Amino acid sequence: MEPTLETALQAIDALYVNPENSVKEGASKWLCEFQKSVYAWEIADKLLYLNRDLNSSYFGAQTIRIKIQMYFTELPPNSHEGLKDSLLNHVKKITKETPKSIANQLCLALADLYCQMVHWKNAITDIINGLSSNDVSSLYLLDILRFIAEEMNSKTLRLGLNRRHALKSDLEQHKRLVSDFLVFKMKNADPQILSKIFKCLSSWWDHTGIMTESDIRTELLEGAFYVLQNSDSCPEETCEDASDWIVSLVTFCPTISGYHTEMLSVLQVNIYALQGVFQRCCAQAAKTLDESVAEGFVKRASLIVVIFAELTNTVRNALIKKPGAPGSGGPGDLQTLDCLISVLEAPPPVCCIKNVLQTFQALDSLAENAVESGYHPNARHKRISGDGPAAEDMNPRILLNSYYTRVVSVLTRLCVNYSDDLETADEVREFREDVYTIMISIVDLVGADVIFNELFNRIMQLQEMNSTGNSANLFHEAEACLFMMTTIAKRLSSYDLEGRIATLINSFVLPGLASKPSPSMQEVVCILFNELAAWIVLHPEIRREIVEQLIRIIEGAANLTQSNFDKQVVCEALVALGKLCQSCRGRRTFSDKDPIPCDGLIDEQWNDLIFRVTYSIPRFARVPSTETQSFYEGVARSLMASIAYLPKDGIDPRPARLALPERLAQLLSANIQCINKLMEQNQPIILKDKNTDPAIWLDLIAAVFRTTAALLSRLDDAYRRNKAISPSRNSQGDQQGQVKGDSLSESAQTCLNGCLNVFVSIVWPVLSRCLEMYSSKNHIMERCCRVIRFVVRTFSINLRDALPDIANKLVQSYQQDQHSCFLYLAGVLTDVFGDLPECRPGLVNLFEVTLAPPTLNSLSGSLAEQPYVVEDLYRLCVRLVQRCATTFLSNPNVNIYALLNTALESLTLFTLNQISAESDEDSDGEKDGSTPVDSKKSDPKATQSATGAVAHFIQEVLTFTVETSEDTLSAILSGHELPQPGNESALAARRLMFWVLKPEICGGQRLITTCIHSCCNGLSDDLFPDISNLLLGLKMMVPRDLFSIWMDRTLEGLPIVRADGLVQATKQQLTDFKEGVMS
C-alpha cells in the first residue's frame, strides 16, 4: 500500500509522542522501511513545506538527506534539477528560529547533493551566489561549505574514485572564490560567524587535499591568532575552532624532504607568542575564587596546550637531529619544548590531568624517535641555563636529556595523591597508567639507573625528614616516588651492585607495609613487587617475606563487606604474587659446582598458595576476574617450568612431575567446589553478585588450562636429552645416560597420565553438569567450551579416550540450545583429532547430523544478522577441509553445495550490511531527539571476521580441488559420462568441479561476480587480500580462457555509468583491472 503524508505523520507522532514502548518500536520499524521506499522523496519534501512541528520537520530533513546519501540513483535524472531547486529553497527559508538539528540536516543534504549531482555545473558558485544574499542563509552557507569538504570523502556516499577526483578538481577551481567569501565574512564578524569560518577552514585543510601554503590568507590567519590572543573576550567555541584550524595548519607543515619553511616560521612566531597567553590563563585561573570562571580559563589554556603538543609533533625530527637554542628560530628551536614543558610545570588548576595528558603523546613520540636515532642514556644531564655552552655546541642527546629529566621530576610531583577521596584516587590511578606508558620511552632516553638513583635519594631524604616530623604530606610524596620506580623497575640490573634495591625494600618498603599503610601505598608497593619480580626471586630471604606480606593482604580481604573491600589493593597483590610464582624456577639439585640450592617459591610455599590464597578468593565480596586469572596463570606457569628437563640448569624435573597431578587438582579444587556448590544449591545468577555466576570460576579453570598448553612440550625430554649426551662418552656413561633417560620418560608418562586423570575424574564431571544445568545461558556455555578447548590443546590426542564423551555431550547440548560456541569447539576437536584416521568419520558425522542442518536452517533468511554463527560455522568447515578433507567432502550426506552457496550469499550480504551500518552514523553528531533505528544492523567488526572465515573456507575448497582432481575440465563440460574416480579424494574433487563449472550451478561465475561486487560495494580494506586469493585460486583451477569469459561477464554487469551520466569506471580502467587480474 502506498504511504501517505497522513500515515507518515501518524508514525512520527507514535515514535516521538506515544508513551508505549511497543508502539514506539513499531513506528520506528515502519519509518525505517519508509525511508528506504521511493515514496519517501515526495513525502519528505511535503513534510518540510508543511513545517508542522519540530519532529516532523526534522524527520523530513533527515529523510531527504538519507535518500540523497544512500538512494540517489533511484531518482530519475530529470528530477535532479527540481530536487536541487527545492533543497536550495528549503535552505533559504531557514530562519534564526529554525532548530539547529533541522538546519544541519538540510545543509548536509545540500552538500551530499553537490557530491552526487553530476550535471550541476558551477555548483559552488551557484550555492555561494544563491545563499550569500542575506545574513541568515549566508551563516548556514559556511556550514554547507564545511560539509562539502567532509562529505566528498564519505564512504557512505560511495562516489567512486573518478567522481572524487572530479569533485577535487572542482574545489580546486573554486577555492579562491571560497577564500574570498571567508575573508569577506571575516570583516565585522561576530563570534558565531568567526566560529563557522574557522570550522570551514579546518575542513578544507583537513579533508580536501587541495590546499597549499599559498592559500593561507593573511586576514584569516591573523584573525585566528587574534582570537587566541584575546581569548578572554571570545566565547569558548570560537577559541576552540580557531585552535583547530591552527592545528590543521601545523600538521600541514611537514613535507617529504623537510618543512614548508616560511609557513612553519610564521606559525612558530605566533605560537610562541601564545605562551604569554597561557601564563596569563594560569595566573587568572589560580587567582579567581569562582570555579566556573576558573574552568573557563583552564579550557582556554588547554586549547593552547593542544597547539604546543601538535607543534612538537610536527618538528620532532628537527628537535632530534638539529636542535637550536630557545629563540634561535628554525624548525629545531627548543623554545617548542619549553612551551610544552611549561604545561607540566604550570600551577593548578591549569596543570590538571587532562592538560598534562595532552602533552604525553608528543613527549612520548619525541623520546621514542630520539632512541631510534641512536640516543643513549650514558651522558651527563645538564639543564640549559646560566652561562653553559650554547645549545648548538652541545650534544643533541644532552639537550634532550636535560628536558626529559625535568619531565620526570614534574611527573613525580603530579603523581602525588594528597586526597583520600575515592573518585580522586581513581583519577590519579588512571593518570599513573598513562605516566607508566610514557616512561617506557623516557627510560630508554634518560636511563633507568639515573632515574632510580634520583628517586631513591629522594625517598631516603623523605624518610629522614619524616622521622623528625617535618611534614604529614611527605608520606604521599614517597608513595609517588615508589610509583615512579615501578615504571623503571624492569629495566634495572638484577645484580644491584650498590645494594640500593635491597636497602629500599628492607629499610622502607617492608617495614612500611607491615605497619598497615594506606590502601594507595599498599597498591603501589604491590605494583613495585610485580615489576621487581626478576630481582626478588634471586634473593630468597627477601622473597619469603614479600610473599608472606602479599598473602596477608589477600587473606585480610576475605569476608569483608563490599564497602570495606579494597579491590585495587587485592588486585595488585594477586598480580604480584602470580608474577613472583611465574618468575621462580624449580629447586636446583646439589652439585659440586653449585652446592647452594635455589629455593623455589612453589616448593616452599605451595600450601600457603592453595589454602591461604585460592580458598580465600571465593570469600571476596567481589572477585576481580582478570587479576585472579593472572595469579592462576602465574602459578600454572611455575608448575610448567618445574617439570621441564634442563640439563644445563641442573634441575631434576622428576620430583616436580611426580607432584604435578596432585598440585593441579589442588589448584583447581576451590573453583570446582564453588561451581558444585552453586549447582547443588540451585543458586540463581544475581547480576550484582558475580560470585553467584559459575562463569567466573570457569574462567579461572580456563586460565589454568590455557597455561598448561605447554605440558606436552615440557614433558618431551628427547631433544634435551640428546643435546645433553656427549658423543665422547664411554659405554658405562652411555648406560648411565640410558637409565636416566628411561627414568625421565617414565616420569613424563606418569605425570601425563596423572594430569589426564585430574581432568577426567575431577574437571569433566563438573563441566558436564554445567552444560546440562545452564544450557540456556550463552555466556556459561561459552566458558564451558573454552575450558574444553584449552584442555584439548593441552593433552592433544592423548585425550582421545575421552573424545566420545565430549562429542556426545556436545551433541546433547547443541540439540537443546544452538550456541555457536559449540561450532567453535567442534572446530578445535577437528583440528586436534582430525589427523587420526579412526576419528575422522565421527567428526564428519558430528557435523553432518548434529551441527550443519540446524545451523543452516537458522541462517536461512537471516545471514546478515548472525555474523558470529557464520564465522564459527565456516571456521569449523575450514578445519574439516584441512584435517579430513576426503572424508568430509566425499560424504554424500554433507550438503557441500548448500555450504558453498551460503558462503557466496554471506559475502554479498555482509558487505551491504557493513555499508548500511556505516551510513547509520551521523556525520555532524548534532541532532536532537530519537531517530528511527534499524534493528537488523550488526557489528561491522563481526561481519568482517565472518567474511574472512567464509573466504578462507572457499579458498581451502579450491586448493583441495586443484590438488586432487583427476577429471579434465573439458570432460566435465562435455556432459558425457565420466569414468569411475580412482579414490574418494577424486570423487570429492569431482563434486566441487561440478559446482564450479556446471552451467546450471556455475559456482565459478558466481564466485567471481560476488568477489568483484563485494570489493566495489565497500568491502573492508583488510579483506581485500582474502578476496584476491579467492580469485587467484579460481584462476589456477580453470582454463585461462574460461576465467577470462567469467571476468568479462562480471565486468559487463557492473553499473559503470549511472543513469545521470556519472562514469564510475571507464572502459580503460576495467581493461587495466582485468589485465592486472589475468597477469
Report the CATH fold assignment for 474-796: Leucine-rich Repeat Variant (1.25.10)
Q: How many CB atoms lie within 10 A of CB 559?
A: 12
Extract the C-alpha cell encoding 268. 612558530
Torsional sign, CA 132, 136, 137, 142 = positive
Q: Choose between 392 and 947: higher pLDDT.
A: 947
The pLDDT of residue 11 is above 60 = yes
- Residue located via cell numbers 588547554: 302
Taking residues 766-795, what's their average pLDDT?
96
pLDDT digits (tens, 9 = 90+) for 441-451: 999 889 999 99
Identify the top-confidence range among 494-498, 535-539, 736-740, 832-836: 832-836
Q: Choose between 931 and 469: higher pLDDT.
A: 931
- Which pLDDT belongs to residue 741? 67
Nearest CA to 108 out of 169, 45, 150 is that of 150
Least confident of 117-126, 327-336, 745-754, 1011-1020: 1011-1020
- Which pLDDT belongs to residue 388? 43
pLDDT digits (tens, 9 = 90+) for 954-993: 999 999 999 999 988 888 877 788 888 889 999 999 999 9
Q: Are 342 and 330 in contact (CB under 8 A)?
A: no
Least confident of 68-72, 130-134, 181-185, 974-978: 974-978
Q: How many CB atoms lie within 10 A of CB 596?
A: 8
Extract the C-alpha cell encoding 865. 544478522
Nearest CA to 1073 out of 1062, 1057, 1054 is that of 1054
Taking residues 646-668, what's their average pLDDT?
89
- Which pLDDT belongs to residue 584? 83
Please give the full DSSP string across 978-1032, using - where no structure is assigned: PPPPSSHHHHHHHHHHHHHH-TTT-HHHHHHHHHHHHHHTT--GGGHHHHHHHHH
- For the chain, the C-alpha Rg in angstroms (whole number) is 35
The pLDDT of residue 795 is above 60 = yes
Least confident of 387-401, 548-562, 932-946: 387-401
Confidence of residue 721 (pLDDT cuts 50, 70, 90): low
What 3-state DSSP class applies to 747?
Answer: helix
Q: Choose between 853 and 389: higher pLDDT.
A: 853
The C-alpha atoms of residue 777 and residue 291 are separated, in whole angstroms, by 50
SS3 content of the chain, % helix, strand, coil (to 5): 75, 0, 25
What one-character DSSP code corresponds to residue 1060?
T
Extract the C-alpha cell encoding 23. 508502539
Taking residues 1008-1037, what's their average pLDDT?
89
Q: Choose between 829 and 493: higher pLDDT.
A: 829
The C-alpha atoms of residue 144 and residue 114 are separated, in whole angstroms, by 10
pLDDT digits (tens, 9 = 90+) for 258-286: 899 899 999 999 999 999 999 999 999 99
- Which pLDDT belongs to residue 198? 98
Nearest CA to 140 out of 111, 104, 99 is that of 104
The pLDDT of residue 381 is above 50 = no
Nearest CA to 653 out of 595, 740, 726 is that of 740
The C-alpha atoms of residue 253 and residue 267 are separated, in whole angstroms, by 9
Q: Give the phi and the psi of residue 175 in degrees, each rounded to 5.
A: -65, -30
What 3-state DSSP class applies to 769?
Answer: helix
The pLDDT of residue 487 is above 90 = yes
Taking residues 748-774, what's their average pLDDT?
97
The pLDDT of residue 628 is above 50 = yes
The pLDDT of residue 69 is above 80 = yes
Burial of 383-417, coded b for 16+ CB within 10 Å and e otherwise, reads ebeeeeeebeebebbbbbbbbbbbbbbbbbebbbb
Taking residues 882-900, what's their average pLDDT?
94
Taking residues 651-668, what's their average pLDDT?
94
| Environment class of 496 (CB within 10 Å of its CB; exposed 0-12, middle 13-18, buried 19+) | middle
What 3-state DSSP class applies to 174?
Answer: helix
Least confident of 393-397, 695-699, 913-917: 913-917
Q: Are 548 and 597 in contact (CB under 8 A)?
A: no
The C-alpha atoms of residue 311 and residue 274 are separated, in whole angstroms, by 12
- Which pLDDT belongs to residue 67? 96
Q: Choose between 920 and 501: higher pLDDT.
A: 501
Dmax over Cα atoms in the chain, in whole Å?
107
Taking residues 381-402, what's their average pLDDT?
56
- Which pLDDT belongs to residue 8? 95
**Distances from the Cα of 656 to the Cα of 544, 606, 642, 643, angstroms:** 20, 12, 6, 6
The pLDDT of residue 396 is above 60 = yes
- Give the domain ranges of the chain: 474-796, 847-929+936-1038
Cα three-residue angle 16-19-25, rounded to 5 degrees: 65
Confidence of residue 20 (pLDDT cuts 50, 70, 90): very high
HSE-CB of 732 using CA atoms within 13 angstroms: 0
Measured distance between the N- and C-terminal CA atoms of the chain, rounded to whole angstroms: 52
The pLDDT of residue 489 is above 60 = yes
- Which pLDDT belongs to residue 940? 72
Q: Are 384 and 399 in contact (CB under 8 A)?
A: yes
The pLDDT of residue 577 is above 90 = yes
Residue 259 corresponds to which amino acid?
A: Y
Identify the top-confidence range among 165-169, 318-322, 349-353: 165-169
Confidence of residue 99 (pLDDT cuts 50, 70, 90): very high
The pLDDT of residue 928 is above 50 = no
The C-alpha atoms of residue 672 and residue 766 are separated, in whole angstroms, by 7
Where are the alpha helices (H) located in 415-518, listed in sequence order? 422-446, 448-467, 474-486, 500-504, 510-514
Confidence of residue 596 (pLDDT cuts 50, 70, 90): very low
Q: Are 602 and 635 in contact (CB under 8 A)?
A: yes
Confidence of residue 937 (pLDDT cuts 50, 70, 90): low
The pLDDT of residue 385 is above 50 = no
| Environment class of 169 (CB within 10 Å of its CB; exposed 0-12, middle 13-18, buried 19+) | exposed
What 3-state DSSP class applies to 651?
Answer: strand
What 3-state DSSP class applies to 1026?
Answer: helix
The pLDDT of residue 726 is above 60 = no
The pLDDT of residue 593 is above 50 = no
The pLDDT of residue 914 is above 60 = no
**Distances from the Cα of 1054 to the Cα of 904, 928, 1021, angstroms:** 18, 39, 20
Confidence of residue 597 (pLDDT cuts 50, 70, 90): very low
pLDDT above 70 as % of the chain:
91
- Which pLDDT belongs to residue 765? 97
The C-alpha atoms of residue 819 and residue 822 are separated, in whole angstroms, by 6
What one-character DSSP code corresponds to residue 599?
-
| Environment class of 534 (CB within 10 Å of its CB; exposed 0-12, middle 13-18, buried 19+) | middle
Confidence of residue 387 (pLDDT cuts 50, 70, 90): very low
Cis peptide preceding 349, ω within 30 of 0: yes
Please give the full DSSP string across 854-865, using - where no structure is assigned: HHHHHHTT-GGG
Confidence of residue 719 (pLDDT cuts 50, 70, 90): low
Q: Are 546 and 510 in contact (CB under 8 A)?
A: yes
- Which pLDDT belongs to residue 560? 85
- Which pLDDT belongs to residue 923? 42
- Which pLDDT belongs to residue 734? 61
pLDDT digits (tens, 9 = 90+) for 796-812: 999 999 999 999 999 99
Extract the C-alpha cell encoding 357. 595528558
Cα three-residue angle 248-254-256, rounded to 5 degrees: 140
- Which pLDDT belongs to residue 618? 94
